[in-house]
């Protein structure tokens, strides 16, 4: 199962971690050397909740941002939280 929010579509995003290096030994040759890039991922903060959608009770995976909206407003994008 993919790590995806069923309501908002949030999923794992990718990018780089870059070191803030100024030179070979830290001081000389400002910007003379490129810093290393390491690939990394950011995973969404997901949670399984029971909601009512289209008159049916379902268990779906939602991001915490969507969950907080469900809790405060009662419904979000056609889903109603079941306590």
- The answer to whether residue 34 is domain-embedded is no
- The verdict on pTM exceeding 0.75 is no
- The answer to whether residue 60 is domain-embedded is yes
pLDDT at residue number 31: 59
- The answer to whether residue 56 is domain-embedded is yes
Rounded to 5°, the CA angle 57-60-65 comes to 120
Check residues 28 and 34 and name the one with the higher pLDDT.
Answer: 34
**What does residue 78 show for φ and ψ, rounded to 5 degrees?**
85, 5
- The answer to whether residue 39 is domain-embedded is no
Check residues 52 and 30 and name the one with the higher pLDDT.
Answer: 52
pLDDT at 75 over 90: no
Which are the contacts of 40, defined by CB distance < 8 A and separation ≥ 6?
14, 15, 16, 17
Range of the domain at 56: 1-8+46-83
- The answer to whether residue 53 is domain-embedded is yes
- The answer to whether residue 26 is domain-embedded is no
The rounded Cα 46 to chain-centroid distance in angstroms is: 8
The Cβ of residue 3 has, within 10 Å, a number of other Cβ atoms equal to: 13
- The answer to whether residue 55 is domain-embedded is yes
pLDDT at residue number 8: 93
> How many domains, in total, are found in the chain?
1
- The answer to whether residue 36 is domain-embedded is no
Average pLDDT over residues 61-66: 94
Give the bridge partners for 80, in sequence order.
52, 75
């Amino acid at each position: 199962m993919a790590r995806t929010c069923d309501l908002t579509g949030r999923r794992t995003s990718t990018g780089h971690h870059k070191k803030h290096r100024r030179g070979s030994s830290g001081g000389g040759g400002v910007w003379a050397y490129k810093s290393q890039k390491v690939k990394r991922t950011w995973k969404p903060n997901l949670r399984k909740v029971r909601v009512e959608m289209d008159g049916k009770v379902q268990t779906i995976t939602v991001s915490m941002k969507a969950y907080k909206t469900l809790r405060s407003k009662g419904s979000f994008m056609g889903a109603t939280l079941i306590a």
